[in-house]
Structure 1
Amino acid sequence: MTDGQTAGPRILVFAGSVKKTSINARLADSAQNALTELGAAVTRVSLADYDMPLVNEDLKNNEGIPDAAMDLGRVVAAHDGVFIASPEYNASIPPLVKNTVDWISLIREIDGQAAKPWQGRYVALGAASNGKLGGIRSLYQLRAVMMAVGCQVITEQCAVGGASDALGADGTIADERTMALLGRTCKSLVDHCKRHALSV
């Protein structure tokens, strides 16, 4: 996990894939760069560092929330916003993303204090695919899931088609349309987080 050092809204960024050559990890890199340039304090995590079993009510009741879910829940709760770069699997949400979201949604207490980590967080969604649609079909479903767990999902989103060419391996963006789309999404996320901070 890497923590941003700049002042500004605290925004968590992660990719919904742990594949070493993931194009969604590239999108997360690009989002991290864009958010940092907008003045956000960015924390980037990899879901590979938070290995969780499949959600199981018997496991939760008998052993409690897994440590990895609690650890990531603490990270989520410490941020104002979240950017998720998620792949599309069979026109839907990848099991890794859904399982992660579901475990964290079951948390009701952190370190002795009542807490629902997702509640009230501003969330921006992105997807990258080598197909023409850019993973957008999965974003409709992921939007509904994130709203169901209490997040404020911003209208703007970023679906990147032909991602292997559009996204550089170092997080740079070669395609102007993609750069503009991601820029609008990241700016909206930062602006929403700032307005919320001023209103509380």
Structure 2
Amino acid sequence: MSKPKILVFAGSLRKDSLNKKLARAAGRYAEAAGAEVTFLDLADYPLPIYDGDIESASGIPENALKLKQILAAHDGFILSSPEYNGGISGVLKNAIDWVSRPLEGEPSMAAFKDKWVALLAASPGALGGIRALPMVRTILSGIGCMMMPEQVALGQANKVIDADGAITDEAAASRVQRLSERLVRFAAK
């Protein structure tokens, strides 16, 4: 097996986002399982809201091109998605929309096609962001990603993720660890 490259990120811009902390915890498990892990913060790549007129007039924004290059260079993704009003965050959907735009001569969905994805969500609420995950799964599988069948939605995450981003609940930590390790195995093939 080769050493897979795993990109870890959250669909949130907030500095102290529970989803960023959960993604990082999952990334540490993937690293321990033998992956080469890169942490990405979407806040470092601001983008305008996707608009075909902007694309026609100015092309694909530089930050979208940077994100596309980063995603394309990895074998799989660990993605922790917040749930906003029962759905996917606007920043995550917008990033996906911009990165999915093809460059001349580039294969369709080059940054997404055949990438393994592990989905997580964290929320202070009881459901843990579970309502957003089917939407994220539908979007990513529709553009060529291969989705891990299991996922983790961590309810009351503010009580089980400490200030340093460690998961303090043994059962929750075990679920995140298993998902991360399985992603590493799949991405290595």
Range of TM-score over shorter length: over 0.9
The answer for the alignment partner of 1:123 in structure 2 is 117
The answer for the alignment partner of 1:143 in structure 2 is 137
1:100 to 91, 95, 99: 95
1:165 to 150, 159, 165: 159
Q: Which amino acid aligns with 1:22?
A: S
Structure with larger RCO (C-alpha < 8 A, sep 6+): 2
Deviations along 1:43-67, one digit per CA (max 9) or x if unpaired, are: 0011011111011011112211111
Shift of 1:171: 2.4
Structure 1 unaligned blocks of 5 or more: 1-6, 196-200
Is the contact between residue 122 and residue 153 of structure 1 (CA under 8 Å) also seen in structure 2?
Answer: yes
Deviations along 1:120-155, one digit per CA (max 9) or x if unpaired, are: 111111100011110011001110000111111111
Structure 2 unaligned blocks of 5 or more: none
Inter-partner Cα distance in structure 2 for 1:124 and 1:147: 12
Inter-partner Cα distance in structure 1 for 2:97 and 2:117: 15
1:186 to 165, 180, 184: 180
Is the contact between residue 88 and residue 94 of structure 1 (CA under 8 Å) also seen in structure 2?
Answer: yes
> Secondary structure in 2 aligned to 1:136?
coil
Inter-partner Cα distance in structure 2 for 1:61 and 1:149: 22
Q: Which amino acid aligns with 1:44?
A: F
1:78 to 69, 73, 76: 73
The answer for the alignment partner of 1:4 in structure 2 is none
The answer for the alignment partner of 1:58 in structure 2 is 53
RMSD: 1.4
Q: Which runs of 4+ in 1 moved over 2 A?
A: 112-115
- Between stretches 127-136 and 100-109, larger displacement belongs to 100-109
Normalising by structure 2, what TM-score?
0.94
Is the contact between residue 87 and residue 127 of structure 1 (CA under 8 Å) also seen in structure 2?
Answer: yes
Shift of 1:114: 4.5
Inter-partner Cα distance in structure 2 for 1:188 and 1:34: 10
Shift of 1:108: 3.3
The answer for the alignment partner of 1:3 in structure 2 is none
Question: May I ask how many residue pairs the two structures share in their alignment?
Answer: 187
Q: How does 1:1-20 map to 2 (within 5 A)?
A: 8-20=3-15
Inter-partner Cα distance in structure 2 for 1:69 and 1:32: 23
Q: Which amino acid aligns with 1:168?
A: D
Inter-partner Cα distance in structure 1 for 2:137 and 2:50: 20
Shift of 1:113: 5.4
